Amino acid sequence: MDLARTDFYLDGQWVAAGAGETVAVRNPATEEVVAAVPAGTAADVDQAVAAARAAFPGWADTTPAERAARLDRLHAALSARADEIARTVALELGTPLKVATRVQAGLPLTVLHSYVELAARPPAEETVGNSLVVREPVGVVGAITPWNYPLHQVIAKLAPALAAGCTVVLKPSELTPLTAYLLFDAIHEAGFPPGVVNLVTGTGPVVGEAIAAHPDVDMVSFTGSTATGRRISHLAADRIARVALELGGKSANVVLDDADLGTAVKVGVGNAFLNSGQTCTAWTRLLVHRDRYDEALDLAAKAAAGYRLGDPFDPATRLGPLVSAAQRERVLGHVARGLADGGRLVCGGPEAALPERGWFVAPTVIADVDPDSALAQEEVFGPVLAVIGFDDEDEAVAIANNSRYGLAGAVWSADEQRALRVARRMRTGAVDVNGAPFNPLAPFGGYKQSGLGRELGRHGLDEFLQVKAIQR
Ligand code: NAD
């Protein structure tokens, strides 16, 4: 199977990248190179931005119904590729195929569908005194995305940007570009006007920086690490370009003394280990009332033992590898530091048995983690759960809020009013009470260093609009 791709998608067509450098794509379960894609240059970004700029007035002028119809065609073209997308994500990222099918392919289709509907119903114009207040698309959007949800992170930007009337230049992560190519096959099939959506693959420091610094990019929408988000903000600030940032997290799962402990811990471990813990919203700190602490540790160890490591294509596998050797080293470094700082290994850890090949880390639970220590403060991005005890609600809230991040979180209690009270006190962009389901229409984004702006639903669409007041 030759998965190599040799082109960019520019101005409505596949354009050969020429004989420049390429980026190798590896299967993290076997460590083998499975494909290569072109490493773009600043000149490629110039071409893509010029196409997006030229397409902008025409696309901005289309009716909401036309934009909705085009997104609907994209939804159909992408749905037809759902199995291929799941298999590709399993191959280049290592997500177990079952999870890849449900989350990596399924979720973006749900989100895209929501924007078919939202595109058709633009926000109403308002009258404020003698002013007519109208909303207009921001312009050319540069989208830079990470590898952990390679289609979802792209759709969460592209769908609302297109629905709003913006045009887009995408740079997907160099670790998982193959999924983006499938998306652009679907985009081509959906027949967007030339230049409305463009793809340049390559590395962050070259293609990513060229997009973030480009004078003709009106807005940079970025998902990734806080360090890169800071760099992109600096680059965009030079020309006062708008930025939207979805960054890291260190979310707390607060289990109050009256909670259904069995469910809270089982669901909490599942959340922390989803996608091998490579999820920005992962509840990586389990906060448990001290009266139920030991019981919770037993439950966590039992739940973790159910996460069988292995080949992402084997239906029995519940935990795949990490995306890269570097990511694995980083995660093991966090585990070692956590243990050196006084954490107690409950299960997993650096000595646990692993498949012979692949960048695997065993599902790991560490108890007695100091809330100020690195393991409780730094984003690990691996299957590592830090457990911390508390004596009362105030202490639980203080520990939950003792973070420079504020992306997500959870509260469990038999008393929903009590859980809601704690949820309101948590300084974070989202909180789930008693395992409530994910809502793809709810605003998604971070407080503090977890980011700026919101994705998904109506709030996600508003990010790509600007407001004009016309006095009469
Ligand atoms: P990353 O910041 O290294 O890379 C993200 C993207 O930015 C990639 O496409 C990369 O090529 C590009 N990039 C890297 N350096 C750049 C630069 N100097 N200028 C412009 N672009 C550059 O992050 P990652 O390792 O791919 O992803 C993991 C991180 O992303 C984690 O910290 C995670 O929490 C975060 N994340 C956040 C969310 C969210 O929604 N909040 C979602 C997923 C991942």
- The domain segmentation of the chain, as residue ranges, is 7-247+450-471, 252-440
CA nearest ligand 1 atom 34, residue: 248
Assigned CATH topology for domain 7-247+450-471: Aldehyde Dehydrogenase; Chain A, domain 1 (3.40.605)
Distance 57 CA to ligand 1 centre (A): 30
CA distances from 441 to 99, 100, 306, 340 (A): 21, 21, 32, 42
**Gap between the Cα atoms of 246 and 460, Å rounded:** 12
Q: 252-440 domain in CATH 3.40.50.11030? A: no
Cα gap 253→233, rounded to integer Å:
30
The pLDDT tens digits along the chain (472 residues) read 568 899 999 999 999 998 789 999 999 999 999 999 999 999 999 999 999 999 999 999 999 999 999 999 999 999 999 999 999 999 999 999 999 999 999 999 999 999 999 999 988 899 999 999 999 999 999 999 999 999 999 999 999 999 999 999 999 999 999 999 999 999 999 999 999 999 999 999 999 999 999 999 999 999 999 999 999 999 999 999 999 999 999 999 999 999 999 999 999 999 999 999 999 999 999 999 999 999 999 999 999 999 999 999 999 999 999 999 999 999 999 999 999 999 999 999 999 999 999 999 999 999 999 999 999 999 999 999 999 999 999 999 999 999 999 999 999 999 999 999 999 999 999 999 999 999 999 999 999 999 999 999 999 999 999 999 999 9
Pocket of ligand 1 (CB under 6 A): 144-148, 153, 171, 173-174, 203-205, 208-209, 212, 223-225, 228, 231-232, 246-249, 280, 379, 381, 407, 446, 451
Distances (CA, A) of 19 to 173, 174, 204: 21, 18, 20
CA of 223 to the centre of ligand 1 (A): 6
Alpha helix positions (H), 364-429: 374-377, 393-401, 416-425
Out of 246, 379, 393, 455, the active site residue is 246
CA atoms within a 13 Å half-sphere pointing along the CA-CB vector of 171: 30
Q: What are phi and psi of 312, to 5 degrees?
A: -55, -25
Mutate to test the pocket of ligand 1, among 223, 329, 459 (most ligand atoms within 8 A of CB): 223
Residue 261 Cα to ligand 1 midpoint, Å, equals 34
